[in-house]
């Protein structure tokens, strides 16, 4: 049996080259591609998520691990039946209008992608109308809004209001996050949930879609 724990460890260490080497080895050993992804690559990333939660790892290290994991996933993708990873649901994510911060948002997007969700990352300074258009085009089930400035927090409410007036609120769950955001604010503006970090965001999205 091919030992996938070394692949997981390489992801945890953010060792890009080692991840590629071990992924190729696992593929040569005829390990099921989904097993390589779930037990090796995502298995390692899950540990990273837990460590990040308890401040045992920090954003730069998490980004390195996510990149390493992605390079492994790219190698495995062509070997998957139909070339597609399981899509647990589509998440449209972006930083709201007037706000240009994207490290936290990118991290959440990466972690969601690693957990089997399809992520449409719109970037920063996104208007309510742009979010609506992206949900319509991609059939998004979850809308994830990020803000780092207190001045742009109300843009989140404007986006949720826009969703309601477009008659799409019933079908789309809205989660919000960012440094100044709290559960209290989430309740105030009528969001479906708030996540304090990337690992919590993945748990929240999974819960909302089940």
Which tokens is 84 given?
A: 């597609």
Q: CA 19, CA 11: separation in Å to the nearest integer?
A: 6
Q: What is the pLDDT of residues 45-77, one digit of tens each?
A: 889 888 987 889 988 898 899 889 989 988 998
For the chain, give the mean pLDDT: 91
Annotate 103-141 with b (16+ C-beta within 10 A) or e (fewer): ebbbbbbbbbbbbbbbbbbbebbbbbebbbebbeeeebb
Give the per-residue pLDDT at 194.
97
Query: Please, what are the domains in the chain?
Result: 5-83 (1.10.1240.10), 90-209 (3.40.50.280)
> 3-class SS at 79?
helix
- For 81-128, give the DSSP string: GGG------EEEEEEBTT----HHHHHHHHHHHHTT-EEEE--SSB-H
Query: Of all helices (H) and strands (E), which one includes residue 30?
Result: none
What is the C-alpha separation between 175 and 158, in angstroms, rounded? 14
pLDDT band at 85 (very low <50, low <70, confident <90, very high): low
């Amino acid at each position: 049996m091919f030992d996938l724990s070394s692949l997981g460890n390489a992801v945890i260490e953010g060792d890009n080259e080692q991840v590629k080497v071990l992924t190729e080895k696992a593929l040569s050993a005829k390990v099921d591609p989904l097993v390589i992804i779930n037990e090796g690559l995502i298995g390692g990333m899950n540990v990273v998520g837990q460590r990040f939660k308890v401040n045992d790892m920090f954003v730069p290290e998490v980004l390195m691990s996510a990149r390493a994991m992605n390079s492994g996933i790219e190698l495995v993708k062509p070997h998957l039946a139909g070339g597609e990873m399981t899509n647990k649901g589509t998440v449209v994510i972006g930083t709201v209008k007037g706000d240009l911060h994207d490290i936290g948002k990118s991290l959440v997007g990466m972690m969601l992608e690693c957990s089997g969700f399809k992520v449409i990352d719109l970037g920063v300074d996104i208007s309510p109308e742009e979010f609506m258009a992206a949900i319509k085009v991609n059939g998004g089930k979850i809308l994830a809004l990020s803000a780092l400035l207190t001045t742009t927090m109300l843009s989140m409410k404007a986006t949720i209001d826009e969703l309601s007036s477009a008659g799409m609120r019933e079908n789309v769950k809205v989660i919000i996050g960012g440094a100044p955001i709290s559960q209290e604010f989430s309740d105030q503006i009528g969001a479906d949930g708030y996540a304090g970090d990337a690992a919590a965001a993945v748990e929240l999205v999974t819960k909302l879609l089940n």
